[in-house]
Structure 1
């Protein structure tokens, strides 16, 4: 140990046991992890401060870091016996004066926990009520559109179809293709052990067309378009455009909610089919490379392995997925407060809620289809 390394020497004096501090107790020395650990171990092994004297007079250097370390070890109380210089006492006094003691943890109270749970339940009920009101208003707006289709916001619907549908095709195709490749490679490792390589068509066909394709597309759209919907409407809240629309008598449901919901409900089945085709292409390529399943055999065996009705079920689910994603995005966008922090929180909540709802709805569809034998 070097002379300037911080350390503690135990000594017996006529007044009792004493801890003599040696070396340099400064930021440069204590900044080393090795030195810090060594000093911490020595302090931990030392008896409590009231029963131990402390001698700091032989220290080569003491700054606020070393003083803070000692003050914390003394549990924010002066030891009964302390020998130090005036400058050291001044340093310790300054550290003691500006040290903030952490407040004690609040005791656990059952009543407060019940109140907190009640607040969460009320918030959930409020969100569910508002979402249900939006669904009812959407039905009324669709009826109004059916009675007077020429007065409908078709330009908005067309724009949203392009932004939510056409621009989402590249990313959904890429992710779907990669998912198909990964699934085919993983399944090939198991099927090859039983000589059942040809069943890769059945497994990929059912899983991708009926379940994974629509769900994967919905999750991607929820993260992409759901957040965009919330951000667009939230910015309108921040810039007071929503208030201006209300003053002008323009209904939010007919001009904001319905076009986005209708566009995403129409685009979602097409995105789902596109993603499924990309995933099947990736699986077909991986099956050809890993198991010598030719693409021609894959294409010929797929119609026999998967019934056409599964594609219809997948598209039906996709319509519901798209409608829920748009409604949830509009719901959180309309609840944004006129500040940027609320806008960010609403966008995050929109994505999380949309993805969760997609998974829940898909599970409900799976149970319902199984019970009716589809």
Structure 2
């Protein structure tokens, strides 16, 4: 056994039993699991002895507060009748005795906690709803102001957002749309081939991509890509106190920050939706030709008869609503960011999750309300 291993030796003397504490009683020497378990077992055996005897700590190599606390707990938070220690060791023991460490009491379960938590969540939801309604009202007022005085509008910001939100998103939306079309065509072809209904793949792909998947897929991609960017941009302005500077200068936040983004996304979302739908139809057409020998010419000629124009109109209208919702949610969380980086990260995450959830919920609402349109 190493001489620095913490241990206790018992010696019988004419005055009674003597416990000699040896080794290094420090955090570094006590924390290894085998050492701690062996020493704890030895202390438990000593605890069962009704004649604790005398204690001698003068042969200790090292003693810190962890070792002193272990001894103090074994002594029952009271000094032994006979104790031989050095002055430095006594100082450590007196410090531990002066500031005792008591185990934390188990926390009692309160039946009212779930109710309180539910109330807090409800109040937080109402607060978010009030802020969002206020943001929508301010956006309407800003649009009216722009209609009255268009020469004062932030057109440079509007064109910049058109480029950053719309043009730069075209490659990724086309790629994802194309792959979704390929996957759908291959999966549908396996089912239609069993019934000899190869020609109906045009109907299924046309309705599903033009009416539902195209707009929703584009909205989800824009929510994750541009919605988070909107929240981060406005949140950084909060952290760097640019929003406070705008308020001091008398610059309206809604007119310069929210409205240009809302108008840009309302214009660009239908275009991105159509672009994504075309890429998905192209992928579906090529996959149909490879899997079911449906020629591209037949696919293109059959598509207008299989899908009415009302579906494209409905998809474009949904895209406008999706774009406005993404902007409102992104700006809402961006304006609520507190001036610290942790709040910025939390706001950006909440913005993306909320935007995607709202898009899916609104799409379900559109599907129910317009279930007889174009089908």
Relative to the length of structure 1, the TM-score reads: 0.76
Q: Partners of 2:240 and 2:365 in 1: how far apart?
A: 39
SS at match of 1:165: helix
Q: C-alpha displacement at 1:105, in angstroms?
A: 4.8
CA distance 1:195–1:105, change in 2 (3 Å): farther
Provide structure 1 residue ranges, at least 5 long, that are not aligned to the other structure.
1-22, 25-61
Q: Partners of 1:282 and 1:333 in 2: how far apart?
A: 37
Q: C-alpha displacement at 1:64, in angstroms?
A: 2.3
1:218 is matched with which residue? 219
Are 1:175 and 2:176 an aligned pair? Answer: yes
2:139 is matched with which residue? 138
SS at match of 1:353: helix
2:116 is matched with which residue? 115
User: How do 1:13-162 residues align onto structure 2 when only pairs under 5 Å count?
Assistant: 64-69=32-37, 78-79=44-45, 94=67, 97=70, 103=104, 105-162=106-163
Find the structure with the greater CA-based Rg: 2
Q: Partners of 2:213 and 2:323 in 1: how far apart?
A: 15
SS at match of 2:255: helix
Give structure 1 regions of 4+ aligned residues with deviation exceeding 6 angstroms: 98-102, 371-374
2:210 is matched with which residue? 209
1:278 is matched with which residue? 279
Q: Partners of 2:287 and 2:327 in 1: how far apart?
A: 35
User: How do 1:278-317 residues align onto structure 2 when only pairs under 5 Å count?
Assistant: 278-317=279-318
Q: C-alpha displacement at 1:97, in angstroms?
A: 3.0
CA RMSD in angstroms comes to 2.9
Does the aligned pair in 1 maintain the 2:228–2:352 contact within 8 Å? yes
Q: Partners of 2:68 and 2:218 in 1: how far apart?
A: 59
Q: Partners of 1:329 and 1:187 in 2: how far apart?
A: 36
Q: Partners of 1:71 and 1:292 in 2: how far apart?
A: 79
CA distance 1:244–1:210, change in 2 (3 Å): same
Q: C-alpha displacement at 1:65, in angstroms?
A: 2.0
Relative to the length of structure 2, the TM-score reads: 0.76
Count of aligned pairs: 309
User: How do 1:353-372 residues align onto structure 2 when only pairs under 5 Å count?
Assistant: 353-370=354-371
Q: Partners of 1:116 and 1:104 in 2: how far apart?
A: 23
SS at match of 2:331: helix
Does the aligned pair in 2 maintain the 1:336–1:346 contact within 8 Å? yes
